[in-house]
Chain A
Amino acid sequence: MNVTIVDYQSGNISSVINSFTEVAKGKVNLEVTSDIKKIKSSDKIVLPGQGSFKSCVESLKSINGLVDTLKEFAITNKKPLLGICVGLQMFADIGYEEAETKGLGWISGKVSKIDNQKGKFKLPHIGWNEIEIKKESKIFKDIKNKSHMYFVHSYEFIPEDKSVISATTNYSSIIVCSVERDNLFGTQFHPEKSDKIGLKIIDNFLKL
């Protein structure tokens, strides 16, 4: 099996590479690239994302043909794609970080700043928080409800269709932290930084 981690200069993806390499060892052929041909021929795609919504969307668009290739892969052909952090957020129609920016529009909704109740809650939301599993998800196989995952973000994805939500977390309000529709997966938290339980999620994705 060929799995591609999309490298589109979206900030630091070393940890994503390290964790996937650890889990993939000897089982999966892992590529880190933005090469359109390689992406097209892979079986699964990982779309990481760090920094702002705006900068990630701009980086993605700056690579000729990448957005269309990803859309064809994940939406038209319904092949497995996992978005992590801003990688998930970009599924939305629109984001408001830095400036109003159009997203990929794969899952209707918006990405706005977490309401921290006038400073009552510190932002970014950094650290380990429990996830509340909302529906059976292929990537949560053998993951216990209320497991701890590592988060670092100030913005949240608010999808219109609530049926896509596979897990939430509580930080000043209920925040969507995982979505799933067909073979499209996204986590707001960082499985690559979430210790053994995070590696298990990666393993579940690789085993799909």
Chain B
Amino acid sequence: MLKNRIIPCLDVKNGRVVKGINFVELKDAGDPVEQAKIYSDGGADEICFLDITASNENRETIIDIVRKTAKECFVPLTVGGGVRTIQNITDLLLAGADKVSINTAAVNNINFLNEASKKFGSQCIVVAIDAKKVSDNKWEVFTHGGRNKTGIDAVEFAKKVEEYGAGEILLTSMDKDGTKSGYDVDLLKTITNNTNIPVIASGGVGTLDHLYDGIVKGGASAVLAASIFHYGEYKIKDAKEYLNSKNVSVRL
């Protein structure tokens, strides 16, 4: 039986791990390579780096982090943030990433997904969708770390990215991100019911129960969390044991 994945996410800015509350007020939580190794040794099913610097001048920094991490961590590594061109993807994959997560570039030009998935295979193309609730059961896609409104319906967009070759969707609720009040389960449920590719839940985890909700109520194939792991509140092992005790199958 396929296990539900737990993915710690490391938000990286200028080479250091940070985690924002609603994307502002960043705190330093350490060295990304060291942190990734701790997670991988602790049983993380995958590791995710999100480069929130994402300016072109600093691309080398994240590539270097990926290169170092990939030599020490032998679980899948996903990298997102500022992935805009085929060359960006090539650089990250050559450095040792297994998947890249594409956000703004997919919104700007959906054909980019087609091109990328044809070249590298769908298995390494994750599309990150940042969605914000606009009315009952309606969500809109945002870009640039939640700053820019696009007018695009999140459900329609999710279906479209699947059609254009995405292998997975990383779905973040902008309303919930950084609040520690749990995933937007309605958003998750709506997207997982309307797509046939795996969905990774993100944004809002504050307790282990939230992970359970993401999988069981939201239908997510994987759950991503940042701060609950960074500040030592919970270990990956705690999360897995908790889920297992509630009959959610995980890799122990």
Taking beta carbons and an 8 Å cutoff, which residues of A are in contact with B?
A: 11-12, 14-15, 18-19, 21-22, 50-52, 116, 119, 122-130, 148, 150-154, 170-171, 192-196, 198-199
User: From DSSP, what is the main secondary structure of chain A's interface residues?
Assistant: mixed
- Which has the most chain B C-beta neighbours within 10 Å: A21, A123, A124, A151? A124
Does A195 lie within 8 Å of B196, measured CB to CB?
no
- Which has the most chain A C-beta neighbours within 10 Å: B4, B71, B121? B121
Does B70 lie within 8 Å of A51, measured CB to CB?
no
Does B75 lie within 8 Å of A195, measured CB to CB?
yes
Residues on B with C-beta less than 8 A from A123 are 196-197
Shortest CB distance A173–B (Å)? 12
Given contacts A127-B2, A127-B5, A127-B45, contact A195 B198 (CB under 8 A): no
Residues on B with C-beta less than 8 A from A171 are 2
Does A51 lie within 8 Å of B221, measured CB to CB?
no
B167 within 8 Å of A (CB atoms): yes
Give Cα A123 to B195, complex, Å. Answer: 10
Given contacts A14-B95, A127-B5, contact A150 B70 (CB under 8 A): no
- Give the contacting residue for B123; candidates A18, A124, A196, A198; CB below 8 A: A124
10 contacts between A and B (CB under 8 A): A12-B98, A50-B120, A51-B121, A123-B197, A127-B222, A128-B251, A129-B1, A151-B2, A152-B123, A154-B122
B94 within 8 Å of A (CB atoms): yes
Give Cα A194 to B43, complex, Å. Answer: 11
B93 within 8 Å of A (CB atoms): yes
Does B2 lie within 8 Å of A11, measured CB to CB?
no
Shortest CB distance B221–A (Å)? 6
Within 8 A of A (CB), among B1-31: 1-5
B52 within 8 Å of A (CB atoms): no
Does A127 lie within 8 Å of B123, measured CB to CB?
no
